Amino acid sequence: MESVPASLLEQARKQVEDSCAVQRRISSDLLASLCALAQRTAESLRAGRQILFCGNGGSAADAQHLAAEFVGRFLLERRPLPAQALTANSSALTSIANDFGFETVFSRQVEAFGSPGDILIAISTSGDSPNILRAAESARRLGLYSAGLTGAGGGRLKDCVDLLLAVPSSETQRIQESHILLGHIYCSLVESLLVKGNS
């Protein structure tokens, strides 16, 4: 192994420890809420509905990652599940932003693709991103079930969604690391419910 300065290795180790510390603070209540979301999602998918994901920046990448896990597979062999990231169509994003404003890039897609009984997963570390708030408001108006993935406190998004999953941290990178952990747990639980029929 190549030699590296001890100070650099210590800095890297601290990042691991900080991330683990946040994840250890994830409460049983938060996990129970995640399980409830998985049950709701499985019921929705059984009824022929879909999951919509949205987020900005790193959260946009998380939206695409999690949608791909449903359309492809996570751990179990099963049929493809209808999920889409509202961040993935660059032509739609740029045309909507240009014509109507960036705060509408997700809400207009929710209005175009969403139907009652669908699930919206809105990802925002701050919980205050205007385009995420608008998407959640559109989801509520149209009868979608919405969940918000945020950092501590939930920001304004906590009042716009049906279910809040707030990571106990105010540091963006730590929140994002925990979001993908929660996202993977969500994928696993939904698959298990649909394939194995666990309840």
Question: Which tens digit of pLDDT belongs to each residue from 76-97?
Answer: 999 999 999 999 999 999 999 9
Residue 3 falls inside a structural domain: no
Percentage of residues in the chain having pLDDT higher than 70 = 98
In a domain, residue 105? The reply is yes
Position 92 in a domain: yes
Residue numbers of the domain that contains 111:
12-195
Question: With 90 as the cut, is the pLDDT of residue 163 above it?
Answer: yes
Give me the chain's average pLDDT, please. Answer: 97
Residue 50's identity, in one-letter code, is: Q
Q: Do the Cβ atoms of 182 and 175 come closer than 8 Å?
A: no
Backbone φ, ψ for residue 57 (5° rounding): 60, -125
DSSP state of 111: H
pLDDT score of 107 more than 80: yes
Neighbours of 27 (CB within 10 A): 10
Asked, for residue 62, whether it belongs to a domain, the answer is yes
Give the span between the Cα atoms of 184 and 142, in whole angstroms: 27
Structural domain includes residue 4: no
In-domain check, residue 5: no
Domain at 106, CATH number: 3.40.50.10490
Is 70 inside a domain boundary? yes
pLDDT at res. 197:
81
Q: What total of structural domains would you count in the chain?
A: 1
Q: Which residue has the higher pLDDT, 130 or 2?
A: 130
Residue 124 domain flag: yes
